[in-house]
Amino acid sequence: MSKTILITGATSGIGKACAYQFGANENNLILVGRRNDRLQELKKDLEEKFSIRVLTLSFDVRERAQVEDAISGLTEEWKNIDVLINNAGLAVGLNKIQDGEIDDWERMIDTNVKGLLYVTRAISPNMVSRKLGHIINIGSIAGKETYPFGNVYCATKHAVDSLSKAMRIDMVEFGIKVTQIAPGAVETEFSNVRFKGDDAKADGVYVGFEPLRPEDIADAAYYCANLPKHVNINDMLIMPTAQASAGVLYKV
Ligand code: NDP
Ligand code: 8X3
């Protein structure tokens, strides 16, 4: 049966791959991102390729009022979200704490933690009242291990790890599923953002080993979202075969 899936950070990488994976399987999509041109292109392509409906919502997850307005403004047709994929997120900069850029820290905390909370707070009451819904949070290996120079990004993903557990506890009585998917290195625009547009440096991250593709994570999200009602995947740590831990990458 067709579901309504809301994906944050749908304009690129893992979120975009989730849009194609869920769209190819006849789900209707609400796509969120700041880059509206990309959202419009995606909507057109997805509606042409698949027999689905796509709604685009261009807002910044860091802006609480924008989040609340966008979600409270959903029409009857769209307001019953079955699966929320909290994917929007980023790392910016790679410094020691003593050299850190405070603006970078604020961007990461505001997006990865507060943004995820704003979106979840806006959408979860409807799930609770329907006693139906699934929240999939995209965490990271950085939420399981802390690595050199990763400090604040790792802290935000540890927060996602903790909040995923908290959401599951808070909503278990309503039958709401909460899953965290925590990937290792996935080749997306992630490193271009982390290195602030230094694309040569970003590309170098993925040289010498086979990283995960965004589609690998979308497959996992789709699998988690389509299990029987009584089965939930709480936590899924997915790594490239060549990455043994956050800091151990076998490069040839
Ligand atoms: P990308 O940079 O390719 O995609 C990030 C997405 O997040 C974009 O669609 C971007 O859209 C959106 N986004 C960023 N900031 C905001 C904001 N303030 N408001 C709304 N949307 C926002 O990276 P990935 O696909 O790799 O990242 C997706 C998630 O996966 C992140 O949470 C990341 O931390 C996590 N992750 C990534 C890994 C990797 O190695 N790539 C590994 C583990 C986890 P727009 O700019 O249009 O707003
Ligand atoms: C993104 C992967 O290893 O850079 O979360 O933290 S890593």
Q: pLDDT tens digits, the chain, 252 residues: what are they?
A: 799 999 999 999 999 999 999 999 999 999 999 999 999 999 999 999 999 999 999 999 999 999 999 999 999 999 999 999 999 999 999 999 999 999 999 999 999 999 999 999 999 999 999 999 999 999 999 999 999 999 999 999 999 999 999 999 999 999 999 999 999 999 999 999 999 999 999 999 999 999 999 999 999 999 999 999 999 999 999 999 999 999 999 999
Asked whether the whole model's pTM tops 0.85, one would answer yes
Say how many Å lie between the CA of residue 52 and the centre of ligand 1: 24
Q: Is the CB of 84 under 6 A from ligand 2?
A: no
In this structure, how many other beta carbons lie within 10 angstroms of the beta carbon of residue 129?
11
Q: Is the CB of 212 under 6 A from ligand 2?
A: no
Alpha-carbon gap, residue 131 to 193, rounded angstroms: 38
Tokens 């291990």, located at residue: 145
Which is nearest to 54 in space by CA: 86, 18, 87, 90? 18
For 4-249, CATH gives 3.40.50.720
Q: Is the CB of 70 under 6 A from ligand 2?
A: no
**153 has catalytic annotation:** yes
Residue 1: the pLDDT is 76
